[in-house]
């Protein structure tokens, strides 16, 4: 299996799936931004490749048509474009990415269906106010401080 992993997939997975794994430099950048210590060794386990400009263009056009543009970050679009380049499936829990992939004829799968998640969730703890978030926000929605990943069993 050839799989492209997005940030939501890497964020919620405790183990990597089997197969040929790919992601984009932007995804690794997001992991680093969230203080995820796995970002450091992920590049050794997953092929990190930039999508072609042509695919990025097609993906941006597609997102405009499906009206997912506002919900998709440039990194999300990179993931979809790379899957298009590699003829790979996307592993993602992001509904907008799934919707766009469907439109572009790219196969995708939610993380939980793969049977690779354990009951361990990566959560984000605010370094400012100490609140804990389930969503991968770029910064604390309350106080704007940096967030750091922390594991918690449910
Ligand atoms: Zn905060």
Query: CA–CA separation, 27 vs 75, rounded Å?
Result: 6
**Residue 129 Cα to ligand 1 middle (Å):** 4
The alpha helices in the chain, defined as continuous H runs, are 7-12, 25-33, 39-45, 53-66, 74-86, 95-104
Give the global pTM: 0.74
Distance (Å) from CA 12 to ligand 1 centroid: 21
pLDDT, one tens digit per residue, over 11-21 is 877 777 878 99
Reported as type and span, the H/E element at residue 137 is none
Give Cα separations from 60 to 4, 55, 101 (angstroms).
18, 9, 12
- Residue-level pLDDT at 115: 47
Cα of 147 from ligand 1 centre, angstroms: 8
Task: Tell me which residues of the chain have a pLDDT lower than 50.
Answer: 114-120, 153-154
Whole-number mean pLDDT of the chain?
85
């Amino acid at each position: 299996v050839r799989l492209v992993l997005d940030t939501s997939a890497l964020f919620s997975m405790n183990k990597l799936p089997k197969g040929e794994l790919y992601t984009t430099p932007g995804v690794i950048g997001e992991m680093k931004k969230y203080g995820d210590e796995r970002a450091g060794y992920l590049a050794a386990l997953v092929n990190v490749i930039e999508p072609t400009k042509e695919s990025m263009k097609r993906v941006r056009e597609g997102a405009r048509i499906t009206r997912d543009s506002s919900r998709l970050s440039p990194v999300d679009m990179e993931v979809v474009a790379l899957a298009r380049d590699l003829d790979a499936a996307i592993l993602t829990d992001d509904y907008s990415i799934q919707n766009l992939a469907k439109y572009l004829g790219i196969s995708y799968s939610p993380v939980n269906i793969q049977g690779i998640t354990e009951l361990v969730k990566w959560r984000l703890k605010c370094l400012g106010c100490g609140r804990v978030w389930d969503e991968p926000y770029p910064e604390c929605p309350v106080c704007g401080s940096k967030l750091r990943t922390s594991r918690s069993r449910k």
